[in-house]
Amino acid sequence: MTAFAVTRASLTRVLRDRTALFFMVLLPVAIIVVIGVTVSGFDRFRVGLVPGARTGPVAQELASELRAAPGLRTTTFTTAEDAHTALRRAELDAVVVLPSGLDADLRAGRPVTVRVLVEPSGSAGHGAVSSVSAVVAEHAARVQAAGFAGAQVGGDFDDNLALARGAERTASPIAVRTETVNGQSDFLPLGYSYSTPTMLVLFVFINALAGGAAIVETRRTGVYARALAAPVAARTLVVGEAVAHLLLALAQSLLIVGIGALAFDVAWGDPTAAAVLVGVWALVGTGAGILAGAVFRTPEQVHAVGPAVGIGLGMLGGCMWPLALVPDWLRSAGHAVPHAWAVDAWTTLLSREGDLTAIVPELGILAGFAAVLLAGASLALRHRLTTHPGA
Amino acid sequence: MNDPPRKPPVLDCAHLVRHFGDRAAVDDVSLSIAPGETYGLLGPNGAGKTTTIRMVCGLLRPDAGTVHVAGAPMGVSAGPAKRLIGFVPQDVALYPDLSVRENLRFFGRLYRLPRRRLERRVDEVLDLVDLTARAGDRVDSLSGGMRRRLNIGAGLVHSPTLLVLDEPTVGVDPQSRHAILESVTRFGEEGMAVLYTTHYMEEAERVCDRVGIIDRGRLVAEGSPRELVALVAERDRVRLAAVGDLAAYAEACRLLPRVEGAGRTGDHGEVVELVVKDARSLLPDLLDLAHEQDVDIRSVEIDEPDLEAVFLHLTGTALRE
């Protein structure tokens, strides 16, 4: 009951603190939106399309197919110069220039070259060329079929092309699925499915750390010392604060999960596994928060150091960018912090439809982090309360 | 040094010792407080008052000695003893962002008061510290004096047997100080034992039944304010403005015990000045003697030493040093 009194007082204080609520609720959602939008573009190349002069139906069809290609985000330019400028400004990954008289050349059986321009420094250029090549090759196969039919049995080019289209539709397609593979993360979720869980990991931890300031403040008000003059053990105060921090971490997690599911259409995977992962991560955050409350001397220190440490660990642990993109040594170093294991677990749940058993190794390691942090934090806070109750 | 308490003591400290490093913050301090008694621990900053109080409240383990509250031993986790104590720390120890009522409820819950009793006691304490009208306001919106009163109120929610006040009037405006001292006097009258530390001599004289003077960790004297003043070797000076045969009266006064000197002063010899021990207890004898000798006493002035002088005498330093 006395621990509950401490929990209740701490929760009441946080819920009245508008700054804390901003960091708990609004900021994570804002960051999720920003990173979600940013990461959404990673699966589509930005391509500028310059239709040639004297376009016929074949060129128009190729342009339409380029615009409709799922891997490309196509913008049409009226002049090649404008497209080149956009490419130099890194507003595009590649520029596709359809040749003038494409239709006429094809009908005449002359070879046609579609030029794809990239900036040598643009890392996405070669990927864009591959995607454009795939679309052009598919279109060219159809044109070649029409040309072959005309050469063998005669007939009108347009009729033969329509015939080739029909044959293409009736033939069983061969699907190619592309995944980015490595030993640690398999393939990555994209867009909000990446930003929402990683921001959950990041912000629950940062807010828990920042919550340590409330403990430092309570220490300095002398309320703990006064409470210890009542029939209250130091461990009761520690438990009361820990429960308050845990409830706040869980509440923030549920908020992010709810907003992710409802507003950003994030599928959180197996509910049981997701719930266990949220709970274990909340315990990790709670341990970190209590530890901050025990070791720092002033709330200002917590506010200055806590978020910086939280962001640093988040960057190292793959909350800002996928660890699949970093060198092996950095990926290994990242797994020295709990964030990386939490992100790995979310990746498994969201991208590979993993269940509880699939994330048992990550959960075990996170539980270990939680146990060490909670034990250390409890001992440190208890020591602080009993030796320097008013400091 | 002092009379033992007549009733079983609420607080009994025996030979308390506490060192910080090589320095003895408290050195063999023993004191006891009876029910309804207000005991003042008087000493300058750093004398050992707060360390003594922390040991009394179970916040600090003594290196030696014992503390019993109504017979229950005090320790860091001594529930029964702690339940009887209301601790009011020197600095305001409240949640600044909770309301007045929420703070009182919080401290009441620490003592596991049942819900109904808690609500009743919170209302009573709000009335006692005159904060009923501000019950819903956040503590950080209160004036300094109000916070001090609430700080005391938080120590009263669970109806303690012993109220421990650590310099409750430091930094308080005169009006609030007066209210706090009035409250302390009332607590004693209502039967609560009070341990009150202060370095204000006038506060100790005003509210305390007994005073212990502590210096450099040692209790150097203990007794009622009057008893302590009587310890001082200095003598009182009594000035009697009178009409009659003052020469004969002065001569007769010299024969009284505790009168060490007598003579006539004033422009026309209209004042008899005496040097005596304990003027207040001697005054009735002086007035009787004047009556016997047809001397008409018009006014009496007594210059007597106070606790400040006592402290100076016992420790060689001023109280506020």
- Give tens-digit pLDDT for B275-294: 788 888 888 999 999 999 99
Q: Which amino acid is at B184?
A: V
Give B193 to chain A, closest Cα distance, Å: 17
Residue with tokens 């004047």: B290
pLDDT of residue B147: 92
Selecting from A12, A222, A232 the residue whose C-beta is nearest the C-beta of B89 gives: A222
Give CA–CA dist B192/B162, Å, rounded: 6
How high is the mean pLDDT of chain A?
83
| CA dist list (Å): A381 to A224, A296, A375 | 11, 10, 10
Chain Cα centroid distance, residue B306:
14
Of A2, A16, A221, the CB nearest to B109: A2
- The yes-or-no verdict on residue A49 having pLDDT over 80 is yes
Judge whether B2 lies within some domain: no
Best mean pLDDT range from A20-34, A183-197, A343-357, B213-227: B213-227
Query: Distance (Å, rounded) from C-alpha A76 to C-alpha A82?
Result: 10
Res B1: pLDDT = 47
Higher per-residue pLDDT: B268 or B53: B53
Verify that B58 and B173 share a domain, yes or no.
Answer: yes
Best of B109, B164, B165 to disrupt the A interface (most A CBs within 10 Å) is: B109
CB contact under 8 A, A231 and B89: no
Smallest Cα distance from B144 to chain A, Å: 15
* For residue B76, pLDDT beyond 50: yes
- The pairing of beta strand B38-42 with beta strand B210-215: parallel
Nearest CA in chain A to B166: A226
The pLDDT score that the predictor gives to residue A158 is 79
- Per DSSP, the residues of B114-182 read -HHHHHHHHHHHHHHTT-GGGTTSBGGGS-HHHHHHHHHHHTTTT--SEEEEESTTTT--HHHHHHHHH
Boundary-marking domain end, from B229, B261, B280: B229
Q: How far is A230 from chain B (nearest CA, A)?
A: 5
Averaged pLDDT, B93-107: 95
Q: Is residue B18 part of a domain?
A: yes
Q: Which of A227, A229, A389 shows the shortest C-beta gap to B85?
A: A229
Q: How far is A20 from chain B (nearest CA, A)?
A: 13
Name which of A126-140, A176-190, A320-334, B7-21 the model is least confident about. Answer: A176-190
What sign has the CA pseudo-torsion B111, B112, B114, B115?
positive
Which residue is closest to A17 within chain B, CA to CA?
B97
**Confidence bin at A28 (pLDDT 50/70/90):** confident
Asked if A231 and B92 come within 8 Å (Cβ–Cβ), the reply is no
Residues composing chain B: 321
Look at residues B194, B229, B264 and tell me which one is the last residue of a structural domain: B229
> Are residues B69 and B187 located together in one domain of the fold?
yes
Q: Say how many Å lie between the first and final Cα of chain B, rounded.
A: 26
Flag if A13 and B59 touch (Cβ within 8 Å): no
Chain A positions in Cβ-Cβ contact with residue B87 (cut-off 8 Å): 226, 229-230
The burial class, CB within 10 Å (0-12 / 13-18 / 19+), for A286 is buried
The string of DSSP letters for A242-268 reads HHHHHHHHHHHHHHHHHHHHHHS----
| pLDDT value at A70 more than 60 | yes
Compare CB distances from A226 to B79, B89, B102 and report the shortest one's residue.
B89
Residue A12: which of B78, B82, B98 has the nearest Cβ? Answer: B98
More confident residue, B181 or A144: B181
CATH number of the domain that residue B71 is part of: 3.40.50.300
CA-to-CA distance for B313 and B229, rounded, in angstroms?
Answer: 10
Q: What is the pLDDT of residue A388?
A: 64
State how far Cα A375 lies from the chain centre. Answer: 31
Closest A-chain CA to B154:
A226
Residue A389: which of B59, B83, B111 has the nearest Cβ? B59
Q: How many CB pairs under 8 A join A and B?
A: 74
State residue A185's pLDDT score: 42
Residue B4 lies in a domain: no
> B62 and B172 share a domain?
yes
Domain co-membership, B248 together with B294: yes
pLDDT tens-digit map of A254-299: 988 988 888 777 888 889 999 999 999 999 999 999 999 988 989 8
Once rounded to an integer, what is the mean pLDDT over residues B31-51?
A: 90
Interchain pair A230, B93: CB under 8 A = no
Rounded mean pLDDT, A147-161: 78
Whether B254 and B138 map to the same domain: the answer is: no
- The CATH number for A45-169, chosen from 3.40.50.1000, 3.90.79.10, 3.40.1710.10, 3.40.50.300, is 3.40.1710.10
Residue A28 to chain B, least CA–CA distance (Å): 25
Question: Is the pLDDT confidence value at A163 over 50?
Answer: yes
Which chain B residue lies closest to A6 (C-alpha atoms)?
A: B106
Residues B44, B187 within the same domain: yes
CATH of the domain at B271: 3.30.70.100
Token pair recorded at residue B244: 């009659």
Is a pLDDT exceeding 60 seen at residue A186?
Answer: no
Answer yes or no: do B300 and B186 share one domain: no
Minimal C-alpha gap between A30 and chain B (Å)? 28
Number of other residues whose CB lies within 10 A of the CB of residue A59: 25
Query: Does residue B5 sit within a domain?
Result: no
**What local confidence, expressed as pLDDT, does residue A183 receive?**
40
Q: How confident is the model at residue B2 (pLDDT cuts 50, 70, 90)?
A: low
Domain ranges for chain A, please list them.
3-39+190-387, 45-169
Q: Tell me what percent of the residues of chain A surpass a pLDDT of 90.
A: 24
Specify the pairing of strand B218-223 against strand B210-215: antiparallel
**pLDDT over threshold 50, residue A300:** yes
Q: Which of B50, B52, B110, B113 is the best residue to mutate to test the A interface, defined by the most A CB atoms within 10 Å of its own CB? A: B110
For residues A66-73, give the mean pLDDT: 84
Chosen from B97, B102, B157 to mutate, greatest number of chain A CBs within 10 A: B97
> Is residue B164 domain-shared with residue B96, that is, in the same domain?
yes
**A348 at B interface, C-beta within 8 A:** no
Model ipTM value: 0.76
pLDDT tens-digit readout, B6-33? 568 999 999 999 999 888 999 999 999 9
pLDDT for res B53: 93
Q: Could you say which of B188, B208, B229 is where a domain stops?
A: B229
Determine the structural domain holding residue B304 and report its residue range: 232-315
User: What integer pLDDT is reported at residue A123 of this predicted model?
Assistant: 60
- Model confidence at A156: pLDDT above 90: no
Look at residue A171 in the predicted model and tell me its pLDDT: 61
Q: CA of B11, closest CA in chain A: separation in Å?
A: 15
With respect to residue B320, please indicate whether it lies within any of the assigned structural domains. no
In angstroms, the CA A266 to CA A195 distance is 10
User: How many Å apart are CA B301 and CA B276, to the nearest integer?
Assistant: 13
Q: What pLDDT, on a 0 to 100 scale, did the predictor assign at position A182?
A: 42
Whether residue B321 is predicted with pLDDT greater than 50 in this model: the reply is no
| Confidence at residue A378, expressed as pLDDT on a 0 to 100 scale | 85
Residue A9 has pLDDT above 90, yes or no: yes
Q: Looking at the predicted structure, is the pLDDT value of residue B234 above 70? A: no
Closest residue in A to B53 (Cα) is A229
Q: What's the token pair of residue B2?
A: 């002092």
Nearest CA-CA partner of A223 in B115, B57, B87, B285: B87
Residues B126 and B110 in one domain: yes
Which of A8, A17, A229 minimises the CB distance to B82? A229
Q: What does the alpha-carbon distance between residue A335 and residue A343 come to, in Å, rounded to a whole number?
A: 10
* Nearest-by-CA chain B residue for A233: B77
For the stretch A364-380, pLDDT in tens is: 999 999 999 999 988 88
pLDDT of residue B309: 62
Task: List all residues of chain A from 213 to 242 with a beta carbon under 8 Å from chain B.
Answer: 218, 221-223, 225-233
Together in a domain, B225 and B241: no
The total number of structural domains in chain B stands at 2
At residue B115, the pLDDT reads: 92
Amino acid at B109: R
Contacts of B59 in chain A (CB under 8 A): 225, 228-229, 389
Residues B214 and B236 in one domain: no
pTM of the model: 0.70
What residue in B sits closest to A222 (Cα-Cα)?
B93
Within this chain, do residues B65 and B199 fall inside the same structural domain, yes or no?
yes
Cβ atoms A276, A43 nearer than 8 A? no
- Residue partners of A252: CB distance under 8 A and separation at least 6: A24, A25, A28, A203, A204, A207
Report how many helices (DSSP H) and strands (DSSP E) chain B contains, helices first: 11, 14
Inter-chain CB proximity B107 and A230 less than 8 Å: yes
Q: Do A231 and B111 touch (CB under 8 A)?
A: yes
Q: According to the model, what pLDDT value does residue A42 have?
A: 57
Q: What pLDDT does residue A44 have?
A: 73
Please give the pLDDT value at position A184. 42
Which chain A residues are within 8 Å of B107, Cβ to Cβ?
226-227, 230
